[in-house]
Amino acid sequence: MRRSTLMRNLIAMAGLFSASVAFGQSADPFEHGWKLDAVNSELQFLSVKKSSIAENSGFASLSGVIGADGAAEIRVQMDSVDTKIDLRNVRMRFLFFETFNYPEAIITAQLPAADLVDLHQARHKIIDLPYKLALHGVEKEGVAQVAITLVDNDRVAVANTTPIAIALTDFNLEEGRAKLEEAAGVDILPFGFVSFGFVFDRAQPGTPPKLELVAATPGAAALETKGNLDREACEGRMEILSRTGNIYFNSGSARLTNESIPLLTNLHDIVDRCPDLTIEIGGHTDSDGSDAANRILSERRARAVNTYLVEQGIAPERLITVGYGETRPVVSNDTADGKRRNRRIEFVPVN
């Protein structure tokens, strides 16, 4: 009898152990914390152009954690935007997201323990999750309906059940939309839809998950290739950089402001990777002031950019400086915004 009772107890304990392995280590859904499996996770956004053509894009480089307290954070490397077309990626980076000033987007949320305490038994839960999104220098709050699925004891999947609408005006992206429309020659609707599927692995006991710096994913189609660029890639990038409008001078001055440095750093990288090309740096002004004064000012401003590039190691014989003054406006000078757009520096390969 004793042996029979002992056997039953052992069998029961084994069953409890198996159930624990199958359904989770405990009722604590955040036990030890979780770390994002970036390779098997995705963050995508859908945009609509020409009123009816939908384009789906994503990001190639993500990192994230869920802490033992349920605090979740996802970081997105904005330079890894992936439209599957190289120059479209470059337009998104420089004209729309302005990644030289805003390199990351950050998503944070507090997962509710009370709603997930039975996840180890239910395996699948749908909850309304408040979140914060920091994008393009703006932070906004929202609520997303998400499905949380315990794949196995050490793996959990988190995905939205319906697309999340993002109004571009909420994140100061309207100007970027206008630049994209002009560069691509198409109308783009002023909102997008975001979807995600994040996969997390449970951290090991005693080693809390650490949010790593977002790193480039080797070989990802969205990321810049290393080394020199071919002529088509160089010309395309020069044309896009000429549209950014992110090189600044004080009024009536040819002195570069500190706000210009992020874009100039990217400009240097691109010029350096196009070693066979001679680049014309063209300065342009609005129509205020005399024609002669504007021509002199535009040449001085172009010369300031030339000097910056030479100081960063670009051979001076590869650069030509021209001041066009007010002779080549891109829009009318009748408005303040038109004048702002006409005050610009353009880059053109000339050989």
In the prediction, which pLDDT does 217 show? 44
Alpha helices in the chain (DSSP H): 2-23, 86-91, 113-116, 119-122, 174-184, 231-243, 261-272, 291-311, 336-342
Whether 25-202 and 231-349 share one fold: the answer is no
In the prediction, which pLDDT does 284 show? 97
Fold topology of 231-349: 60s Ribosomal Protein L30; Chain: A; (3.30.1330)
* First-to-last C-alpha distance (Å) of the chain: 96
Which residue type does 119 have?
A: L
Could you say which residues of the chain have pLDDT below 50?
1, 3, 6-7, 9-25, 215-219
Beta-strand ranges (E) seen in the chain are: 34-36, 42-49, 53-59, 62-66, 71-77, 81-82, 104-110, 124-135, 138-152, 155-160, 164-167, 191-202, 279-284, 319-323, 344-349
Q: How far is CA 161 from CA 60, 71, 196, 200, 309, in A?
A: 21, 20, 9, 17, 49
In the prediction, which pLDDT does 202 show? 93
In the prediction, which pLDDT does 142 show? 97
- 143, with CB counted inside 10 A (0-12, 13-18, 19+), is exposed
In the prediction, which pLDDT does 196 show? 98
Please tell me the distance from the alpha carbon of residue 47 to that of residue 92, in angstroms, as a whole number: 12
In the prediction, which pLDDT does 207 show? 81
Fold topology of 25-202: Lipocalin (2.40.128)
Using DSSP's 3-state secondary structure scheme, residue 335 falls into: coil
- What's the Rg (C-alpha) of the chain? 27
Please tell me the distance from the alpha carbon of residue 337 to that of residue 234, in angstroms, as a whole number: 29
Domain ranges across the chain? 25-202, 231-349
Which residue is listed with tokens 């809390």? 208
Q: Express each pLDDT in 207-249 by its tens digit.
A: 878 776 554 444 455 667 678 999 999 999 999 999 999 999 9
What residues have CB less than 8 Å from 168, skipping those under 6 apart? Answer: 174, 176, 177, 190, 191, 192
Which residue is listed with tokens 């702002």? 340
- 52, with CB counted inside 10 A (0-12, 13-18, 19+), is exposed
Q: Express each pLDDT in 34-58 by its tens digit.
A: 999 999 999 999 999 988 999 999 9
Please tell me the distance from the alpha carbon of residue 332 to that of residue 254, in angstroms, as a whole number: 23
